[in-house]
Amino acid sequence: MTGRPPAWICAAALLLTLAAGPAAATSPPCPVSAAHAEALLFPDGAPEDLACNAGEDRVRCLIAARYADDASARDLALTLYDEVGDVAGVEEPFTMDGGFRGTIEIVPEPPDGSYRTHLKWVLAAQREIADFLDAIGARAETPIEYHHGPLDWRFFRSVDRTTPSAYAQGWEVAYNVRGSLNKSAISVRELIFHETFHLNDQQRGYWSRAALGDDVDRIVAECGTDVACLTPYAPGKTRVRGGTYYAFQPDNGDIAREYAAELAVRYFIEQRAMLAGEPLAEPAFKCGPEANAFAMQALADEFFGGVDLVPDCP
């Protein structure tokens, strides 16, 4: 299911999930409440003179008020809410333990003014991901259970840093307006797919560790951080400065989770090319080592109804 589900579907799915236990199928994220939207948009409190007309959607009213000084950003934020149910708020200030990145100061930074382009890229990405999921879902024999919204967006800036570009937890995505990966519509689209995979993986009790952990651990035991050794197994090209592939970077949480998120992006890129009738820019990931084919098929089966439009390997 894509887009913003009706509240009754969200409530019913949540009750079924709670009754069935943590192994149950996932439920869509709930539409944001007005109280939560207010806290997300105005962490220090909404303006005292804020007034909404009787019967008006209070969340839309809050969004319009938050971006009142930038009409273009306001229209983008309202469209993001109307089409997907996403609310473009801000992060609260805190000091992050960034693992291999060190300590990072995080401050709120709304996506308006000079940062408005990021809101435009997020909206475009959410539209394209919705189209992709609809196309994959139409080819699956059973309904796919991969959700990309509604999301809470917490826009921020890292002080004197460009990392992290984003992080996600509990149907919230925090987005760095100065993130090193947030430089184009394409890179943002792939980043968002990476982060929404984390959210879907979390709701499944971290499927990534249970399904792919043994193989990922074996690859790391064999290669360590050696780039040449890891190259055939790396789903993406992103590398940490002074380190190795992001999918295998030590001190970055559970490597299986990051590997799986990068694998999901590779699936997205390859299947999207097939849907468009375009050739792959590089050999299909599944046509590399045996572990690659297993991982890609496992991911397709779990999240995307087993759909694989990439031709068989030679």
Q: Is residue 96 part of a domain?
A: yes
Q: Are residues 263 and 155 in the same domain?
A: no
Q: Are residues 121 and 149 in the same domain?
A: yes
Q: Are residues 100 and 241 in the same domain?
A: no
Q: Are residues 167 and 238 in the same domain?
A: no
pLDDT score for 48 = 83
Q: Is residue 171 part of a domain?
A: yes
Q: Are residues 185 and 212 in the same domain?
A: no
Q: Are residues 87 and 121 in the same domain?
A: yes
Q: Is residue 170 part of a domain?
A: yes
Q: Are residues 145 and 255 in the same domain?
A: no
pLDDT along the chain (314 residues), means of 10: 43 46 60 92 89 81 96 98 97 84 90 98 98 98 92 97 93 96 97 98 96 98 97 95 92 94 98 98 97 98 98 96
Q: Are residues 86 and 228 in the same domain?
A: no
Q: Are residues 123 and 272 in the same domain?
A: no
Sign of CA dihedral 250, 253, 254, 260: negative
Q: Are residues 155 and 253 in the same domain?
A: no
**Which residue range forms the structural domain that includes residue 224?**
207-303
Domain count, the chain: 2
Domain final position from 170, 193, 216:
193
pTM of the model: 0.90
Give the pair of three-digit tokens for residue 74. Answer: 């306001």
Domain final position from 162, 193, 224:
193
- Residue bearing tokens 């059973």: 142
Q: SS3 for 90? A: strand
pLDDT score for 107 = 97
In percent, the amount of the chain with pLDDT more than 90 equals 79
Decide if 208 contacts 240 (C-beta within 8 A).
no
Q: Are residues 85 and 154 in the same domain?
A: yes
Q: Is residue 174 part of a domain?
A: yes
Q: Is residue 246 part of a domain?
A: yes
Outline where the chain has alpha helix (H).
7-20, 34-41, 58-66, 71-84, 116-139, 185-203, 207-223, 227-230, 255-275, 290-303
Domain final position from 193, 228, 244:
193
pLDDT score for 227 = 97
Q: Is residue 2 part of a domain?
A: no
Q: Are residues 219 and 294 in the same domain?
A: yes
Q: Is residue 308 part of a domain?
A: no
pLDDT score for 22 = 42
pLDDT score for 210 = 98
Decide if 111 contacts 178 (C-beta within 8 A).
no
Residues in CB range of 164: below 8 A, 6 or more apart: 96, 98, 101, 104, 158, 176, 179
Q: Is residue 201 part of a domain?
A: no
